[in-house]
Amino acid sequence: MSTFDREQLADLHCNVVRAIEDRDPALFASLYTSDGRLLTPDGRSVHGRDAIAEEFGNWLRAGLVTQALENVQLTIGDTVAVEEGRAIGEFAAGSEVHSNYLVVHVRQDDGSWLMHRDIWTHVGADVPAEASY
């Protein structure tokens, strides 16, 4: 059995950064379970990899250029791990979006871990009007 740990979390976040740098919505969506869900700050529920890829493409078109994380905490079980922290998304226009986030990771039958639920709330009034990220 594969236990979720900080090394796997670091690999996951490297893939998120790579998806942003490569402008690759399919890569980003592949980090989620097939029935994964984004629960956005505006109340939408984005369900499934195709919809997640489309949403990620919207973030890229809104100017997302990088993401960094702070204060990451993990609660780890046998088949579920919960990640909590603060994300800072930087946009091409020079603005940043600060969010508190919670991600539920689920262990797959092959021992790998994928994101299953991803929810975040914006912190402060620094959110670009066109960005739901």
Encode pLDDT of 15-30 as tens digits.
Answer: 999 999 999 999 999 9
d(CA 103, CA 105): 6
- What is the architecture of the domain spanning 6-123? Roll (3.10)
Encode pLDDT of 37-96 as tens digits.
Answer: 999 999 999 999 999 999 999 999 999 999 999 999 999 999 999 999 999 999 987 889
Six-digit token string for 116: 């299953």
H or E segment to which residue 38 belongs: strand 32-39
d(CA 58, CA 104): 23
State pTM to two decimals. 0.89
d(CA 65, CA 104): 24
d(CA 121, CA 6): 23
Query: What integer pLDDT is reported at residue 94 of this predicted model?
Result: 83
pLDDT band for 126, please (50, 70, 90 cuts).
low
pLDDT band for 1, please (50, 70, 90 cuts).
low
Give the start-to-end residue ranges of the domains of the chain: 6-123
27 neighbors 6 (Cβ within 8 angstroms):
no
Query: What integer pLDDT is reported at residue 8 of this predicted model?
Result: 86
Query: What integer pLDDT is reported at residue 130 of this predicted model?
Result: 47
Report CA Rg, the chain: 14
Six-digit token string for 52: 């997640």
Query: What integer pLDDT is reported at residue 61 of this predicted model?
Result: 95
d(CA 79, CA 104): 10
